[in-house]
Amino acid sequence: MLGNVLGSNLFNLLFVFWGSAAIYPVRFAGLQLLDLWMMTGATVILLPILFTGKRLNRAEGLRLIACYGGYLFFMWPK
């Protein structure tokens, strides 16, 4: 099951995105370095949760919501 999800995501990222980008170039005007670090950090945080029970408990959920709230606060226009 995990292989199906990962394989489908990789296929979508590599082939579908590449195919559409070949037709019309993709521009990431609003993407910043902080956004990439946050996506990488979220992946690193979620991988152990996935392999240890495949279910979030209340503390883990609150921690993820707090991280997202901090990210939104930091990205708030000044």
Q: Do 16 and 42 share a structural domain? A: no
Contact 60, 47 (CB under 8 A): no
Q: Is the pLDDT of residue 8 over 80?
A: yes
Q: Do 55 and 73 share a structural domain? A: yes
The domain tally of the chain equals 2
Q: Do 70 and 35 share a structural domain? A: yes
pLDDT in tens, 31-55: 677 788 888 888 888 887 777 777 7
Domain range holding 43?
Answer: 31-78
Token pair 């082939």: residue? 15
Rg (CA), the chain: 16
What single letter denotes the amino acid at residue 21? A
pTM for this entry: 0.51
